A and B are shown apart, each in its own frame.
Chain A
């Protein structure tokens, strides 16, 4: 059985996801020691700008010609409305070259070996529902259930799956939900018009569980840490990450925080990009 990681990278006008993926891939190789492949809509950009990239395979997909848009915050005081190409996640089942695949977002920074245990167990599908916000004052209700009337929330940020007929059904289901997003967002009382993989995964897991508590999705080890895009990454040195966390009731003010040996979802991609470029995200 082959095991490897997949990163998706589809650039927009401002965020170079391929750059983020190159950085994230090097962290996966350092801490988990597995090959990493990239799924991108711009192979040429990768070859031209990152000729020393660490990828095992480059898998090119078609350009999304009708992307969604959303606001990308860069700290509490700045934001940009940019393209958000997130519709290809369900294709990972067909595109991955591995029998067992770890999929992570390009802004998921591996700083530990905690996922190693998940790469060698027997479960077909593993994902996080448990998470913690580095800024402890912020409410986490939106990451507990997709809304207060509905089903448990799962993060599509990081997951591991084996290729088999059951997981194939799961990814087919995600594609079906995406194609019928208007219906499903109404059915599950989701306010956002924007398609979001976290919601689609949550709905698909719920259906795979027979619409009740089930065992299809097994929790990944530990708890997924995250900082939102209103926080600002300062730097990453080995397994230490410094982040300026949004201060409660004081927009524009921050508290410096440090993590060590913790995998972290750094949602402020703009500050992550600045750090990769110059060693500082601020």
Chain B
């Protein structure tokens, strides 16, 4: 492990047969380098081989600790380990299928007052705040909080460690926990969002973990929450989009702000990657 840096972004990527998550992480890391004014350090937690071209953009590449032979599609059994693997005192965790489009220094300032903080507010590409009743039935019917693991913050503190220990327990015993805490609208896979909500419930850290005035938010591109009737399969087939030479991502003629969760894995095309590389290189 390299030198300790006080603040940075941590990504988790483990390639599957279908998806090159390392490439997604590379694109996200480029977008961080392009958009952030102050905190630009990005590290990657992976056991995959990272191509030289990609590895240069990461400040550190750390292995997944305590690896087992079994890996599920979403690799949920590894995601609780982020706390233990991070090289930072303060960490913002991002899902790899995201792009950071604007400076989010104020997020660090806000989150610095807490031990950990989850995003609990999402928007669609129209910039409307979305109350996602489509995907979040289990959260609503079981009266759980609404955290998004795709964007969260923690600092190295005993209370954060306690929370991640609870999260570890939930991840390793998710069927039992779902039966106890989320029996309605039962989800038969390990969802980190639901696991985090249950961990918040068990640890009683509701006010610590989520709050209505937190600046953490992202644009979520799942099609059912875009306000379209009928709901299309792909947003990329529904609205025009372009990443321009200034680094502005325009979707449906609307400039996307802050953090963009593109969801659809084929969004990172060679064209998009080249644009990001050119922006990062200042060319």
The interface of chain A, by Cβ under 8 A from chain B, is 145, 148-152, 187-188, 206, 210-213
Asked if A210 meets B253 with Cβ closer than 8 Å, knowing A148-B227, A148-B228, the reply is no
For A211, give the chain B residue with the smallest CB separation. B255
Q: How large, as a class, is the contact surface on chain B?
A: 10 to 19
Give bound CA distance, A150 to B239, whole Å. 9
**What are the 8 closest A-B residue pairs judged by CB atoms, nearest first?**
A211-B255, A212-B255, A213-B127, A149-B239, A149-B252, A212-B257, A148-B228, A150-B252
Contacting residues, chain B, for A150 (C-beta < 8 A): 252-254
Interface centre among A148, A149, A150, A211, by most chain B C-beta atoms within 10 angstroms, is A149
Q: Are B254 and A151 in contact (CB under 8 A)?
A: yes
User: Does B250 make an interface contact (CB < 8 A)?
Assistant: yes
Q: Are B250 and A149 in contact (CB under 8 A)?
A: no
- Contact partner of A151 (CB less than 8 A), chosen from B229, B248, B253, is B253
Asked if A187 meets B127 with Cβ closer than 8 Å, knowing A148-B228, A149-B228, A149-B239, the reply is no
Interface string of B240-283 (1 = CB under 8 A from A): 00000000101011111100000000000000000000000000
Supply 11 A–B pairs (Cβ within 8 Å), ascending by A: A145-B126, A148-B227, A148-B228, A148-B229, A149-B252, A150-B254, A151-B253, A152-B126, A206-B254, A211-B248, A211-B254
For A206, give the chain B residue with the smallest CB separation. B253
Q: Are B227 and A188 in contact (CB under 8 A)?
A: no
Interface string of B184-218 (1 = CB under 8 A from A): 00000000000000000000000000000000000
Give bound CA distance, A151 to B239, whole Å. 12
Contacting residues, chain B, for A149 (C-beta < 8 A): 228, 238-239, 252
Contacting residues, chain B, for A151 (C-beta < 8 A): 126, 252-254
A149-B238, A188-B253, A212-B254 known; 17 other A-B pairs, CB under 8 Å? A148-B227, A148-B229, A149-B252, A150-B254, A151-B126, A151-B252, A151-B254, A187-B253, A206-B254, A210-B255, A211-B250, A211-B253, A211-B255, A212-B255, A212-B256, A212-B257, A213-B257
For A210, give the chain B residue with the smallest CB separation. B255
Give bound CA distance, A188 to B253, whole Å. 7
Contacting residues, chain A, for B229 (C-beta < 8 A): 148
Contacting residues, chain B, for A210 (C-beta < 8 A): 255
Minimum distance in angstroms from A214 CB to a CB of chain B: 10
Interface string of B117-140 (1 = CB under 8 A from A): 000000000110000000000000
Give bound CA distance, A193 to B210, whole Å. 47
Minimum distance in angstroms from A202 CB to a CB of chain B: 11
Give bound CA distance, A152 to B254, whole Å. 10
Contacting residues, chain B, for A148 (C-beta < 8 A): 227-229
Give bound CA distance, A149 to B254, whole Å. 10
Contacting residues, chain B, for A211 (C-beta < 8 A): 248, 250, 253-255
Give bound CA distance, A148 to B238, whole Å. 11
For B228, give the chain A residue with the smallest CB separation. A148
For A214, give the chain B residue with the smallest CB separation. B255
Residues from 11 to 36 in B contacting A, C-beta threshold 8 Å: none
Contacting residues, chain A, for B238 (C-beta < 8 A): 149
Give bound CA distance, A81 to B253, whole Å. 33
For A187, give the chain B residue with the smallest CB separation. B253
For B256, give the chain A residue with the smallest CB separation. A212
Minimum distance in angstroms from B44 CB to a CB of chain A: 30
Contacting residues, chain A, for B248 (C-beta < 8 A): 211
Give bound CA distance, A275 to B249, whole Å. 52
Give bound CA distance, A29 to B228, whole Å. 44
For B125, give the chain A residue with the smallest CB separation. A149
Asked if A212 meets B127 with Cβ closer than 8 Å, knowing A148-B228, A150-B253, A206-B253, the reply is yes
Contacting residues, chain B, for A212 (C-beta < 8 A): 127, 254-257
Give bound CA distance, A212 to B256, whole Å. 7
Minimum distance in angstroms from B274 CB to a CB of chain A: 23
Minimum distance in angstroms from B128 CB to a CB of chain A: 9
Give bound CA distance, A37 to B255, whole Å. 39
Minimum distance in angstroms from A184 CB to a CB of chain B: 10
Contacting residues, chain B, for A206 (C-beta < 8 A): 253-254
